[in-house]
Structure 1
């Protein structure tokens, strides 16, 4: 799977995205290299995604977890404007960031961790792999 910059001319390979995420965690883990090398190996086999979406004006961030990112993003798009859900109410259907895991429990824990940090910290996390806050499109999702 690849990420495509919306209206852009280049592809960012998912492996590089995942490596950057793991490198960020490693830098902030106190040097627990073994744990993060194992986590990276596990992550590369995974099919659970923690993701951050936003509205078109990038004023609201939504963090979620799914095992099918393209389908979930399509659901967010179809749900836009639906006031019964947070993502729908605030039109959060534009992808800014995601991480992939093989263990659903680790993905859920990571989702909770991201939800608990401030907006500024979330933006720092996003900018590690998406410095211009470009909206991302998962291959195969139009």
Structure 2
């Protein structure tokens, strides 16, 4: 079974880009060389790989990528920093008082 990867790049403007691929080194090269000039990362180089996770099921990898893309910056940073205990607290919705 082919490996798939979910990855997070830190861009030069301090934003994060989350992606999924089956060829991590090739995809990082493409990001760093602006292979796709209209891609989000093309104008935000240099890039730093700050997180990746391996999956044996591409469908699960795609599902996790979509999940991470919806996360707040704080939650992504907890994942990047291996602070897994903080993840549940960062998932709680904050309600406004009326």
Check if 1:62 corresponds to 2:8: no
Aligned pairs (5 A) from 1:1-142: 47-56=3-12, 59-79=14-34, 82=37, 84-91=38-45, 93-128=47-82
More helix by share: 1
Q: CA RMSD in A?
A: 2.0
**Which 5+ residue runs of structure 2 have no aligned equivalent?**
84-98
Would you say how many aligned residue pairs link Structure 1 and Structure 2?
82
For normalisation by structure 2, the TM-score amounts to 0.75
For normalisation by structure 1, the TM-score amounts to 0.53
Runs of 4+ aligned structure 1 residues displaced above 4 Å come to: none
1 CA distance for matches of 2:75 and 2:2?
Answer: 25
1:32 counterpart residue number: none
**Which 5+ residue runs of structure 1 have no aligned equivalent?**
1-44, 130-142
- Displacement after TM superposition at 1:46 (Å): 5.6
2 CA distance for matches of 1:93 and 1:106?
Answer: 25
> 1:46 and 1:100, CA in 2 relative to 1: closer, same or farther beyond 3 A?
farther
2 CA distance for matches of 1:128 and 1:107?
Answer: 18
- Displacement after TM superposition at 1:92 (Å): 6.0
